[in-house]
Amino acid sequence: MIIFALITLVLAQNETLVIKYPQDLAQRPELDKIKFNIANFGFVPYGQRIAGVLEVAQPFNFCQPNFNTTSTYNSDYSNVKVLLVQRGNCTFYTKTINAQSFGYQMLVIVDDMDEEITGLNLVSLNETKEIDIPAIMISKKQGDIIKQYMDAITSDRVYIVVKFPEMIKTDKVNYHYWFSAMDKSSYQFLEQFYPFHMEMKDQLQFTPHYAIDRCGICKKNNYNTRNQQCLSGGRYCASDPDADGPLTGQDAVREIVRQLCIFKQDQSKWWRYVVRYSDICLTQMQAKQCSIEVMKKLNINPETIQSCYDKSFSAGDDELDDNTLLSEQHQINLNYSATSWPILYINDLKYKGSLTVSTYSYNYETGAQQLIDTSHFGPLQTICRSFKEESLPSVCKQRMIGYIDDGVWVEHSQSSSTWVIWVVVLTTMLLLMICTTFLYKRMFRKEANEQINQQVNIHLAQYYALNEQEKSMRK
């Protein structure tokens, strides 16, 4: 998997970090509206807030945590802990995984240089252990002020609220995904999101995009030179998928054209094709023949796809002639500054965070697929939060963190949303029981009082009657 090289402009960025307490720190003018940059890994709770106690890491770079001075906390919503660390000496991933191991639910990284943080790219460098907490970076100037205050005033706790970007909400969510046609790891998001896309497909607008390069030297030769890593004279190139193996970049670009043709013909079949293709063909590093076999299994006519392939080139030579489908892809990549992959855009907002989860299984023979834990499947959670509430698909109501059927929204917790729901349900039931008991007692007392009063009145009437009778006898 290629690491993101550039950060594109992101729409609707409204993320802020606010200090709520103590007031003498919160009211510092330098700390008004603390902006931050989100890491491209971990679980990012878009549209939600994380509120908690901020603590300073020991040591401050947190590359080798001090087990004697650093506390360990459970992932308890009522006890949210956020760790403040300094950039440097080790990777962002190392700092974040250390914080997660100690039970912290978010990491705030202080830059070690005076620079504009929004243009920085915080990456995980392909480490395999999954990160379930968000990591953000704030500027050196603001971070130093907070750190100096916390070092000097050890008796006061610092409470913060972090607001993550709100998604643009629509009735129909559109999302774009850039990936490589010959890289198996970049298919993982498609494999994992496939069942959810099929459930929501009428409410989703999906567009696939492909990683293609352009040969600079070939351009100087007016794209009239053959290149084994490129088609169309070097206009569209891809990396060699198997190094010294039999495949070349040309095979990768040809597969891109085939997939674009399948997508044009039938989007549902495209989804089934890419999931099956990534499992069968990429593990064996086979190209055209394997693609044809997968098409036949899925009732996709290979001849129709080949006809589309041929027509997409301006003439009969795919190694030199231009291609309309690839030309469109190249222009889209330029418009989005998509020079690397994988990239996901949701409602025109560039998604940051992990694209996949590790708790995942798929049976390619039966088609059975299951995501065991979707609470940390960031793309699903973010796409669900991009719907207007009245248009929310049923799968989102079932899988979305913090959503309850009566429309109540609960703030983000790193633990499963099931716990939050049960707390709300049990609290509601307890209140109902208390109210019922109170009303029952009140009704019982009223009825008892009425009965007592009735008995008293009867006895008084009898007493008065006897008294009158006795008076009459005396006369």
pLDDT, tens only, 442-473: 665 656 566 655 555 555 455 555 555 555 55
How far is the C-alpha of 351 from the C-alpha of 178, rounded, in Å?
12
Q: How confident is the model over 352-368, as a mean pLDDT?
A: 71
Cross-strand partners of 56: 84
% of residues, the chain, pLDDT over 70? 76
How far is the C-alpha of 462 from the C-alpha of 464, rounded, in Å?
5
% of residues, the chain, pLDDT over 90? 53
Q: What is the pLDDT of residue 235?
A: 96
Per-residue model confidence as pLDDT tens digits over 208-246: 999 999 998 998 889 999 999 999 999 999 998 887 788
Please report where in the chains the tokens 């309850």 appear, as a residue: 404
Cross-strand partners of 210: 179
DSSP label at residue 169: P
Q: In terms of domains, do 182 and 226 share one?
A: yes
| Most confident range, picked from 173-177, 221-225, 247-251 | 173-177
Q: In terms of domains, do 237 and 145 share one?
A: no
Judged by phi (left if over 0) then psi (alpha if -120 to 50, else beta), residue 57 lies in beta
Residues for the chain: how many in total? 475
Q: Does residue 284 belong to any structural domain of this protein? A: yes
pLDDT for 143 beyond 70: yes
pLDDT for 178 beyond 70: yes
Q: In terms of domains, do 207 and 73 share one?
A: no
Per-residue model confidence as pLDDT tens digits over 52-87: 999 999 999 999 887 655 554 444 445 689 999 999
Q: What is the pLDDT of residue 368?
A: 56
How far is the C-alpha of 474 from the C-alpha of 449, rounded, in Å?
37
Number of independent structural domains in the chain: 3
- Residue 113 three-state SS: coil
Q: Does residue 423 belong to any structural domain of this protein? A: yes
Q: What CATH number is attached to the domain comprising 150? A: 3.50.30.30
Q: In terms of domains, do 228 and 210 share one?
A: yes
Q: In terms of domains, do 198 and 288 share one?
A: yes
Q: Does residue 386 belong to any structural domain of this protein? A: no
pLDDT for 423 beyond 50: no
Q: How confident is the model over 116-142, as a mean pLDDT?
A: 80
Q: In terms of domains, do 146 and 186 share one?
A: no
Range of the domain at 268: 173-371
Q: How confident is the model over 109-131, as a mean pLDDT?
A: 77
pLDDT for 371 beyond 70: no
